[in-house]
């Protein structure tokens, strides 16, 4: 698979089957992903790769909290500004319409949306997950480094025939994740990532992208 194909075939997949992800494959992917760039090569990512009983335990704990209506944990970082300005607001709304429309959920059906969103904390059925942490003391450039790392992981997963879904949703239940993984206190959970083989029957709604001239300016002589 060439890089273009990996980029174009990566999607946020929200339906996995239970076929296990071989450990050797994950080691190959994560060994290569470590070559992602970072400012001054400080490599600020801390990845926990979880499967089997520990992942089941994390899913069980969050599932119980959801069932009990337990509120989310206090936020350790702001996922979006309180008011999202244009054009981001419209893009987010278009995404929401696509994401929930694809599974037949209307905009005003808040309960059905919540139910669909709760699949986040079951990893959409995936048998493996990566929880990505960053040191609290690091700043925006290092968070950007972590993003590059995660995209590198996701592209390499495509090369292995695997799919993924990056999930900030996991940060909402960072305490439940920490109860199982026991990360050092200085780490903040940026996001989780479900990893596995796609369930062929799940929704394949494809997001769009802004036209090139909305996000790229060529300045030419």
Ligand X SMILES: Cc1cc2nc3c(=O)[nH]c(=O)nc-3n(C[C@H](O)[C@H](O)[C@H](O)COP(=O)(O)O)c2cc1C
Binding residues for ligand X, per CB under 6 A?
11-12, 14, 95, 120, 165-169, 191, 207
Instruction: State which residue, 31 or 207, has the beta carbon closest to ligand X.
Output: 207
Instruction: State which residue, 14 or 65, has the beta carbon closest to ligand X.
Output: 14
Q: How far is the CB of 87 from ligand X (least distance, A)?
A: 15
Those residues whose C-beta lies under 8 Å from the C-beta of residue 29, and which sit 6 or more positions away, are 153, 156, 157, 160, 162
Q: How far is the CB of 126 from ligand X (least distance, A)?
A: 12
Instruction: State which residue, 78 or 221, has the beta carbon closest to ligand X.
Output: 78
Those residues whose C-beta lies under 8 Å from the C-beta of residue 218, and which sit 6 or more positions away, are none
Instruction: State which residue, 11 or 175, has the beta carbon closest to ligand X.
Output: 11
Instruction: State which residue, 61 or 163, has the beta carbon closest to ligand X.
Output: 163
Residue whose Cβ sits closest to ligand X: 169
Q: How far is the CB of 124 from ligand X (least distance, A)?
A: 8
Q: How far is the CB of 25 from ligand X (least distance, A)?
A: 21
Q: How far is the CB of 97 from ligand X (least distance, A)?
A: 12
Instruction: State which residue, 166 or 196, has the beta carbon closest to ligand X.
Output: 166
Q: How far is the CB of 31 from ligand X (least distance, A)?
A: 22
Helix/strand/coil (H/E/C) assignment for every residue in the chain: CCHHHHHHHCCECCCECCCCCCHHHHHHHHHHHCCCCCHHHCCCCEEEEEEHHHHHHHHHHHHHHHHCCCCCCCCCCCCCCCCCCCCHHHHHHHHHHHHHHCCCCCCCCHHHHHHHHHHHHHHHHCCEEEEEEEECCCCHHHHHHHHHHHHHHHHHHHHCCCEEEEEHHHHHHHHHHHHHHCCCCCEEEEEEEEEECECCCCCCCCCCCCCHHHHCCCCCC
């Amino acid at each position: 698979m060439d890089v273009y194909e990996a980029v174009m075939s990566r999607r946020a997949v929200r339906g996995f089957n239970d076929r296990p992800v071989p450990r050797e494959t994950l080691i190959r992917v994560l060994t290569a992903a470590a070559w992602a760039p970072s400012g001054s090569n400080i490599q600020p990512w801390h990845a926990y790769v979880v499967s089997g009983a520990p992942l089941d335990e994390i899913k069980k704990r969050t599932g119980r909290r959801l069932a009990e209506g337990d509120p989310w944990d206090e936020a350790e970082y702001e996922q979006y500004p309180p008011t999202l300005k244009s054009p981001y607001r419209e893009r987010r709304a278009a995404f929401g319409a696509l994401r929930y429309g694809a599974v037949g959920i209307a905009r005003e059906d808040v309960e059905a949306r919540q139910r669909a969103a709760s699949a986040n904390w079951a990893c959409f059925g995936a048998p493996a997950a990566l929880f990505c942490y960053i040191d609290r003391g690091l700043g925006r450039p290092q968070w950007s480094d972590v993003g590059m790392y995660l995209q590198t992981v996701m592209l390499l997963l495509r090369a292995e025939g695997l799919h993924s879904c990056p999930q900030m949703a996991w940060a909402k239940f960072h305490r439940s994740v920490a109860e199982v993984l026991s990360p050092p206190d200085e780490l903040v959970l940026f996001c989780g990532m479900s990893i596995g083989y796609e369930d062929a029957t799940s929704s394949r709604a494809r997001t769009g992208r802004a036209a090139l001239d909305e996000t790229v300016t060529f300045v030419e002589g």
